[in-house]
Amino acid sequence: MSDQKQTHLPDPLSFQILETTLYTHDGGLLLLSKHLDRMRRSARLLSEKYPDCFPVDCVSATAVETRLRQALLSNSQPHLQRGRARILLSADGSLDVQVVPAAAETANTRQPLLVLDTQPTENLQESPFVACKTTHRRIYDAAAARTLGSAKKYPDGSLVLLYNSDGCIAEANIANVAVSLPAGGDMDGELRLMTPPVSAGLLAGTMRSQLLESGQIVEGAVTVDDFKRAAQNGWPVVCMNSVRGLFGVTPVAP
């Protein structure tokens, strides 16, 4: 524990490795294999920081599906049609699945704002709590608090866009992001949805991976100025995660 204090790491008992995805009655857990692969990668990385914690062999599709059935039965919702599922791995290797109902998006669903953070996040690229999805969300909570605040300047459901000390955008506080930019930097070039590389300091999202594989988005550096240019020109900006899929946002660059 002394090593954790010296490096300012939280106690391993204070957080869990987390995967969040969409559950549907007909389709089960969306992108489950990608989520389990990422959970195993997170467990391996964090076990380097926390020896003897987060054992990888506890993570399996069979274990998750068993706990999913238990969660649905314990909440008296065995016939739940659509839900938001959280898969949690604790330091001692215990695995838990939680499911809450989730409404489907409709044409009337309000497009959220994506507000540029008021300052860069230092050491964004180095934090294991960015590379790994966990319940320890201090970096994201701090960005949301200082940018969205409690004064209700922005409506509920607004997102904050984090960027690193190099002036490159990374991700939103609950989703990956892609910004429409002209191919080759030519203002008259065809717009392409560009998502920042993992090296910018972001979580390698499962929906992001799926969209990269399908060619719907491409990977490349996106600067704060690029984001502002997209906002000024009305070029589409989107966010993505495994619960909401690909969804449009309204970029705000104060």
Q: Which pLDDT belongs to residue 153?
A: 87
Q: What is the pLDDT of residues 183-200, one digit of tens each?
A: 876 667 899 999 999 999
Res. 205 pLDDT band, cuts 50 70 90:
very high
* pTM of the full structure: 0.93
pLDDT value at position 185? 67
Backbone angles phi, psi at 242, to 5 degrees: -80, -10
Question: What average pLDDT does the segment 148-170 reach?
Answer: 92
* Mean of all residue pLDDT scores within the chain: 93
Instruction: Calculate mean pLDDT across residues 134-139.
Output: 98
pLDDT-derived band at 104, boundaries 50, 70, 90: confident
pLDDT at residue 100, as a whole number = 94
Confidence of residue 7 (pLDDT cuts 50, 70, 90): low
The predicted structure's pLDDT at residue 5: 40
| Cα(100)–Cα(123) distance, integer angstroms | 34
- In the prediction, which pLDDT does 151 show? 66
Per-residue pLDDT of 126-135, as tens digits, reads 999 999 999 9
Residue 144, pLDDT score: 96
